[in-house]
A and B are shown apart, each in its own frame.
Chain A
Amino acid sequence: KQEVTQIPAALSVPEGENLVLNCSFTDSAIYNLQWFRQDPGKGLTSLLLIQSSQREQTSGRLNASLDKSSGRSTLYIAASQPGDSATYLCAVLQGGSEKLVFGKGTKLTVNP
């Protein structure tokens, strides 16, 4: 059974700091990995999709990497801003399946 773990559960940083969020998964048989952002009580906004054959993806100040063999992904946020405060979720699309398996998320607070 696929399990996705995100560490840390919460993170508080001062504005301008670069930071890394971690995601690990137990079964490397995945099609892809997505990083999402969720604001309190809201839906999920897709940030980045990394296909299983890729190593990383970049969008603006965000960079996500994927090491499928070790079951790890990281989301790097450069020059953090208060508007980046949200919960960040990673999810893997399980091989042979149509479902996303999610971690519990990392709650990020960026202090002005």
Chain B
Amino acid sequence: DAGVTQSPTHLIKTRGQQVTLRCSPKSGHDTVSWYQQALGQGPQFIFQYYEEEERQRGNFPDRFSGHQFPNYSSELNVNALLLGDSALYLCASSLWVGIAEYNEQFFGPGTRLTVL
């Protein structure tokens, strides 16, 4: 049973560039969330996708956008990169069963983004 996968593993970009990160959810899962983890900090929620729509968004600027495809995979796009966007970007998947208490999120290995 494949877990959550993310690509690429590492990425180096320069300020002002744009980047796309990809995530495939755990088999059977239909919901994908994205988190940003700065060094020494806990992950911060960016947004969540369900049924190909953004269900909730955290406190991140519009430079951060996403998409979910019919096969439940997802992309995170960041435009006009800043030095402060350097972080580990984590994707989490879950299966919506209608009862929030049962919502367990499973994380991928992350994409390390470095902005120079």
A49 within 8 A of B: yes
Residues 3-43 of chain B, each 1 if its beta carbon lies under 8 Å from chain A, else 0? 01010000000000000000000000001010100001111
**Looking at B31, B33, B106, which has the most chain A CB atoms within 10 Å of its CB?**
B106
Taking A91-B42, A102-B44 as known contacts, 17 extra A-B pairs with beta carbons closer than 8 A to each other, sorted by chain A number, are A31-B101, A32-B101, A32-B102, A36-B107, A43-B4, A43-B109, A44-B43, A46-B107, A49-B104, A51-B101, A53-B101, A99-B33, A101-B45, A102-B42, A104-B40, A104-B42, A105-B42
- Interface residues of chain B, those whose CB is within 8 Å of chain A, are 4, 6, 31, 33, 35, 40-45, 48, 50, 55-56, 58, 88, 90, 92, 100-110, 112
Are B43 and A100 touching (Cβ within 8 A)?
A: yes
**Residues of B with C-beta under 8 A to A34:** 104-105
**Total residues of chain A contacting the partner, CB 8 A:** 28
**Residues of B with C-beta under 8 A to A89:** 42-43
Bound form: Cα–Cα A52–B102 in Å: 10
Bound form: Cα–Cα A104–B38 in Å: 10
**Residues of A with C-beta under 8 A to B35:** 100
**Residues of A with C-beta under 8 A to B106:** 46
Q: Which residue of A lies closest to B39 (CB)?
A: A41
**Residues of B with C-beta under 8 A to A49:** 104
Bound form: Cα–Cα A12–B112 in Å: 27
Given contact pairs A51-B101, A93-B100, A99-B56, A43 touches B42 in the complex (Cβ within 8 A): no
> Which of A32, A42, A53, A100 touches B110 (beta carbons < 8 Å)?
A42
